Structure 1
Amino acid sequence: MRALSVDSFADALAVRRQFPNWFYTNRYQQLIVDAAKANPAFFELSNKENE
């Protein structure tokens, strides 16, 4: 599998939708952490999307 690199949380979500088995990467997880620190409310939207 090629290295997966995304530059924004939106890109990470797009990749997750297209390749659900690929989103468990260190880069993706770091974006999750950064997004949580920068904008905790963002996860309220993400959680609603997943329900």
Structure 2
Amino acid sequence: MPTVPDPAPCNQDEQLYECLECGKRLCSSESLAACPGCEGTLQNLSRPRPE
């Protein structure tokens, strides 16, 4: 299964999101709730995971 490449490093004021449905990754300075491509749920990868 092919993997989706990470986008270029995000700017300092942007967050990295990954779609849990299609696997697409994107950077945004806005707080996104849905993938613009498939409307799937986005996970914020820039936030550290709780331990």
TM-score range, shorter chain: under 0.3
- Of Structure 1 and Structure 2, the greater helix share is in 1
TM-score, normalisation: structure 2: 0.25
- Choose between structure 1 and 2: higher strand proportion: 2
